Amino acid sequence: MILGELYGGRLPQAGGVISLVGAGGKTTLMFRIARELAAAGETVLTTTTTRIYRPEPVQSAQVVVAAEPAAALAQLAHRLRRSRHVTAAAGWIPEAGKLAGYPPESVSALRAAGLFRWILVEADGAARRPLKAPAAHEPVIPAYSDWVIAVAGMAAVGRPLDARWVFRPERFGALAGISAGEPVTPDAIAAVLLHPQGMMKGLGLKAARCVFLNQLDLPGAAEAARAVCVALARSIYEPVDRILIGSAAENGTVAPAEGC
């Protein structure tokens, strides 16, 4: 279980709030964690403070759309009779095919109701690129998050810094110290992951920080992930609490990054 890797093999009885940021597999990772928790008998809510595509039934069979937390809670309680995992959103954006997220204070109201032991929040958007750097208004991380998981896709390592591989490439380059068209190096990825204005910008003091290096099912990705781990270890910025490497896809292997 992925959260077991964060909590040393034993989940806290009180549950928690996990926010996911970055790029290269956040949504896939969020729904995989939700499936694992539900299979272990936990109740789990998946939601967003930004926007997400409506989940496929295999990701989340139960979806509630309600603008106000009170209205959502009534529906969520009913859906919990059918499934331990439910997704909730504030609205539907038909032209984008996406669900609109809740502001952090609404997620807090859903949390306070006590229906769910775990709440997973997609707190960032990346337009399906492997990497990103946040704009001024991003990410939207609830201050009461217990963990923030920053996801980075190894598909972009060695690729040119441009919009095909990086969402907001100009911002990424400014944080990493590389120019448009130059290769995206492991050092550049580590810099944007750890920079105070990088992927985990604005997280609350309570939150522990995890980096998830994803897409290890791709050729050469394991070597790329090891190089990013080395770069993270020698970075001048504050280190994270945990580094995981693996594939967020269902049945993909995930492990701590010891020995990178």
Tens digits of residue pLDDT in 129-150:
999 999 999 999 999 999 999 9
Q: Is residue 92 in some structural domain?
A: yes
Task: Report residue 255 CA to chain centroid gap.
Answer: 17
pTM for the predicted model, two decimal places: 0.96
Q: DSSP letter at 102?
A: P
Alpha helices in 129-185 (DSSP H): 169-176
Range of the domain at 119: 15-256
pLDDT, tens digit, 9 for 90 and up, residues 23-80: 999 999 999 999 999 999 999 999 999 999 999 999 999 999 999 999 999 999 999 9
* Short-list 252, 1, 22, CA closest to 153: 22
Q: How far apart are CA 74 and CA 61, in angstroms?
A: 18
Q: Specify whether the CB–CB gap between 20 and 122 falls below 8 A.
A: yes
Tell me: the pLDDT tens digits for 42-51?
999 999 999 9
Q: Is residue 209 part of a domain?
A: yes
pLDDT of 260 over the 80 cut: no
Task: Give domain status of residue 5, yes or no.
Answer: no
The enclosing domain of 102 has a CATH number of 3.40.50
Domain assignment present for 1: no
pLDDT at 259: 55
Q: What is the pLDDT of residue 204?
A: 77
DSSP H/E element including 27: helix 26-39
| Residue closest to 195 by CA, chosen among 211, 216, 179 | 211
Average pLDDT over residues 242-249: 96
Task: Give me the number of domains the chain comprises.
Answer: 1
8 within a domain of the structure (yes/no): no
In a domain, 91, yes or no: yes
Residue 7 lies in a domain: no
Long-range contacts of 102-106 (CB under 8 A, 24+ apart): 102/47, 102/48, 102/49, 102/69, 103/49, 103/140, 104/49, 104/140, 104/141, 104/142, 104/143, 106/68, 106/69
Residue 4 host element (H or E): helix 2-6
In this prediction, residue 9 has a pLDDT band, given cuts at 50, 70 and 90, of confident
| Coil/strand/helix, residue 247 | coil
Number of H helices, E strands in the chain: 7, 14
The angle at the Cα of 23, spanning 63 to 29, to the nearest 5 degrees, equals 45
Is there a contact between 193 and 123 (Cβ–Cβ < 8 Å)? no
